[in-house]
Amino acid sequence: MPEQVGATPSLIACPACAGLGLRMTACTCRHNGNTFLTRGAGLLSSGEPYADCELCHGTGESTVMCFPCRQSGQLRAQGVLTVVNAVTGQTASVQVVPGAYDITPWSVKPSRRVIDLTPAVRSLAEQAGVQSLYDSLDQPLRDDDLAMPIFLPDEYRDGASPDERRDIERAAIAEWAGRRRWHLYVGYPAGVRERVDPERRLGELREAAAAAHLDLVIRMVESCWSVSYEVAGSAPRPGQAWYSGPLSLKDAVVHATPAELAEQMKSATMGGGHWVLARPVPADDTAQWTIKDLEQRVRAAAVDVAGGSAVWRDGRWHISPLIVAEEREILTTQQTGQVRATTERVLDCAIPVAGSRTVGTPIPTQRCARCISGTAWQDCSCTYFGEAPSADCPRCAGAGRAPAPYCSGCDDTRLVHLGAVVTIIGPDGRGVTTNLAVGPSPQVTFFLNEHGTRCAKVPRELTAVAWAEQFGTDPDWLSTHGARTAGVLARDGVFATELADPRAVVAEYLARLTTGRPGARLVYFVRPPASTPVESLLRAVCGVDARLEISVAASQHGSLRWGATVAYRGAPSRYAPQELDLTLGDAVQRVVAALPQRIGAIEHDVSRTELLQPPQQLAIPDTEPGVEAMLRDLAGQYERVLAYMTRSGWSLHVWTQRQWTRIGAAPTLRETISNAHLG
């Protein structure tokens, strides 16, 4: 008989590795062929192995860790489907075990048998009271495709004996669960989470590009659309001239935000900068073009050429075909010991875009001193413990210096700017741009810090504090890299140096600020603190029976900083959440904004052999008020405070003597603090 739903799910040997934890697979070198210099164009692993391969030694097969069982050799024939209501915390779950679901023909290939889980997920969504579902990648799911089916192997036969069918089904479920044991879906009631309006998002991208004096570039290459910010005259970094993306311009626009594009610009492009001129730039009729208009014009421009582009500059769209401006050969070492050569195409507009009205004279630059020879050097690892260089060292051959993986002085751009262009953009799209240059006689202060290191402090007008005052905002509200911080260097204007000339100190400061930044551009976005109530996160965490971790610490400026994250209740914490946010509501908002990803990520800590208990929470869970106020009061007594919240209650930890110490636990936070062993 089929295994009963209420029975304990079986623990079986992993079908992928036969219980060994390791499996043999075709070596990577078989994609490349038996040559030292390879193009790596082989899509299949059926080629001739590389005779001198460092992985398989010419045999063509290598041993790898078995991914489904995580090298344990065992799997449990059990998976769990969970839907949680992001607003109320109501949760419905069901386990996937042999015998629980009908085995049906696959609609694409009727001879193949599958276990269709979409009806089960749809039923869970109804129980949780949600209308729209999102997966762990924060992607909306279609109502007719809510879950990937479990595919049974080809040897499954309807006429086989019950024992044989049961064994095949158990192995298929175990292997499916090995890839993801716990499928967590976050749902929202009707009208709570609205889809992003593509036209509105395009307007936001144009507005931020205009405020920062950047180009908004849309490209279509081989039917793939990409959206990016670029400095006029910049070029792709070596190895970054790829133009992949969604097949729809609408999808490409929806998945782009101004802050993300500004950060991607640093890793994707490089180029010299120009001072920015404050000139009015009136918009013309092309500003009224919709996404459909842009898509039609770019597609028309891409006929019979490498692609098409649309560039938003100076208040208008510029449409142009794309042509191959340069071909670069990129050499990369492989784990096999081979060298792979790839050719990347750098595309450019066939119709040059007119120069921007806001571009001024070039910013002074100089060649990076750390890699002026073409290679950046660093102390070899054989000298890290103060030892003399070893003549047998394969990296330095006794010289004590070895090539660095990249140049920290210029971020491999070979260019150092002696000036900067800073732009601050507010929530309303208003932008203020400031040119920072080396003055004739800057007022630089030299001092020794608490460690006896000689430091320099640049003039206040060159720091983020002055930029924020000029814009009319709090410097703590400036955000970059996805975090609300302008960086310690920009905030304080202090760094260690042996330079004595004030002008050289300011030049070094500006060079460090703009390291790797194309055009020496620094773009900050003003993000006022959010006031999202922690209760909105507590309900969802209690619903899936996870653990909410809240940390609070005092910053070097005296204010409190908060951090929050969601973790699997059955796994120990590796690190406390990083304290980046100004308020607890701010930290909660960071998690809530990406709740499907944060909730879905807790599955990574679930063991492949663990017996899961499907969480159920059909009633709206109660929450404790005043959490932020209580933690704020407690934070005044310790350097750092860490609080855990689960269904069973709260626990408190404090940072003392360079380690976390548990000081109490109770069903409520108030009781935990009252009964804690406070030092």
What digits encode the pLDDT tens for the residues 42-68?
666 678 899 999 889 999 899 889 988
Do 301 and 293 touch, CB atoms closer than 8 A?
A: no
Q: Which pLDDT score, from 0 to 100, does residue 636 have?
A: 80
pLDDT tens-digit readout, 419-461: 999 999 999 888 999 999 998 999 999 999 888 999 999 999 9
The whole-number average pLDDT for the span 652-667 is 87
Nearest alpha carbon to residue 472 among 437, 434, 432: 432
pLDDT of 669 above 80: yes
pLDDT in tens, 342-356: 888 889 999 988 888
Q: pLDDT at residue 6 above 70?
A: no
Task: Report the percentage of the chain scoring pLDDT > 90.
Answer: 37
Q: What is the DSSP letter of 620?
A: P
- Cα gap 679→671, rounded to integer Å: 17
Give SS3 for 265: helix
pLDDT band, residue 552 (cuts 50/70/90): very high
Q: How far apart are CA 22 and CA 30, in angstroms?
A: 20
Q: Is the pLDDT of residue 94 over 90?
A: yes
Higher pLDDT, 249 or 285: 249
3-class secondary structure, 22: strand
- pLDDT score of 132 more than 60: yes
Section 483-487 average pLDDT = 77
What is the DSSP-derived secondary structure letter of residue 597? Answer: H
Mean of the per-residue pLDDT values for the chain? 88
- List the structure tokens of 345: 């195409």
pLDDT, tens digit (0-9, with 9 covering 90-100), for 574-624: 788 888 888 888 899 989 988 999 999 898 888 888 888 888 888 877 778
Q: How many CA atoms lie within 13 A of 127 on its CB side?
A: 19
Banded pLDDT at 209 (limits 50, 70, 90): very high
Separation between Cα atoms, residue 393 and residue 400, nearest integer Å: 9
Q: Is 323 helix (H, G, I), strand (E, B) or coil?
A: strand
Q: What is the pLDDT of residues 154-193, one digit of tens each?
A: 888 888 888 888 889 999 999 898 888 999 999 999 888 8
Calculate Rg over the CA atoms of the chain: 29
pLDDT digit string, tens, across residues 361-415: 999 988 888 888 888 888 888 887 777 887 888 778 888 888 888 888 888 888 8
pLDDT tens digits, one per residue of 285-301: 888 999 999 999 999 99
Count of CB atoms situated within 10 Å of the CB of 37: 10
Q: At residue 650, does pLDDT exceed 50? A: yes
**Residue 1 pLDDT class (50, 70, 90 cuts):** very low
Q: At what angle do helices 584-593 and 535-543 cross, to 10 degrees?
A: 50
Distance CA 347, CA 235 (A): 9
| pLDDT > 50? residue 234 | yes
Q: What is the pLDDT of residues 321-342, one digit of tens each?
A: 999 988 888 888 888 889 988 8
Pick left, alpha or beta for residue 37 (phi over 0 → left; psi -120 to 50 → alpha; otherwise beta).
Answer: beta
Amino acid 220: pLDDT: 93
Is the pLDDT score of 480 beyond 90?
Answer: no
Q: What is the pLDDT of residue 299?
A: 94
**Does residue 232 carry a pLDDT above 50?**
yes
pLDDT class for 3, splitting at 50, 70, 90? Answer: very low
SS3 552: strand
DSSP state letter for 284: -
SS3 479: strand
**What six digits make up the tokens of 380?**
């070899």
Residues 523-551 have a mean pLDDT of 90
- Angle of helix 584-593 relative to helix 627-635, nearest 10 degrees, comes to 120
CB 261 within 8 A of CB 229: yes
Q: How confident is the model at residue 2 (pLDDT cuts 50, 70, 90)?
A: very low
Q: Say what the pLDDT of residue 254 is.
A: 92
Local confidence band at 678 (pLDDT 50, 70, 90 cut-offs): low
Query: Which tens digits make up the pLDDT trace of 354-368?
Result: 888 888 899 998 888
Q: Whole-model pTM?
A: 0.85
